[in-house]
Amino acid sequence: MFKIFVFNVHALREYNIHKALDHPRVVKLYDVFEIDANSFCTVLEYCDGHDLDFYLKQHKTIAEREARSIVMQVVSALKYLNEIKPPVIHYDLKPGKPLFLFA
C-alpha cells in the first residue's frame, strides 16, 4: 500500500510540473486520468514523426548540420527547464526521447 501511495504522490508531482510547462520543444501535457488504483493515463500533445533513436537505427549517421540543429533544439528545451523556478531536471534524456519531423 505504501509503495502505491508514494508512486501516486510522485506521479501527481510530475503531472503538476509537466502541466505547467510551455515551450515549443517540450511536449504539452493536457490531462491525466486514473484507470484504476494502480495505473493512470496521460493525454499528451500529438507528435507525428519518429524519435532520434529510430532515425539513427535507420540511417546510422546524421549530417553535421542536422546534428547541430537537433542539439540546439534539445539545449533550448533544457535551458528553459533550467530557468524555471525551481528548475526542472530531466532524469531520462536519451535518443529515444527527442521526437522529430524529418523532411
Rg of the chain in Å (alpha carbons): 16
Which pLDDT tens digit goes with each residue over 47-94?
Answer: 888 888 998 999 999 999 999 999 999 999 999 999 999 998 888 888
59 and 16 assigned to the same domain: no
Average pLDDT over residues 15-39: 88
The phi and psi torsions of 15 (rounded to 5 degrees) equal -60, -50
- Residue type at 25 in one-letter notation: R
Point out the domain boundary residue: 9, 27, 46.
46
57 and 94 assigned to the same domain: yes
Q: Higher confidence at residue 2 or residue 38? A: 38
> What is the pLDDT of the chain when averaged over all its residues?
85
Domains in the chain, number: 2
Q: Grid coordinates standing for 103?
A: 523532411
Q: What is the pTM of this model?
A: 0.78
77 and 90 assigned to the same domain: yes
User: Which 3 state secondary structure label does DSSP give 35?
Assistant: strand
72 and 41 assigned to the same domain: no
Q: What is the pLDDT of residue 4?
A: 52
103 and 70 assigned to the same domain: yes
55 and 39 assigned to the same domain: no
CA atoms of 45 and 81, how far apart (whole Å): 18
Angstrom CA distances, 50 to 5, 26, 90, stand at 34, 15, 20
31 and 62 assigned to the same domain: no
Q: Is residue 33 within 8 Å of 19, Cβ to Cβ? A: no
Catalytic center residues = 92
Domain with 7 in it? 1-46
55 and 102 assigned to the same domain: yes
pLDDT band at residue 36, thresholds of 50, 70 and 90?
A: confident
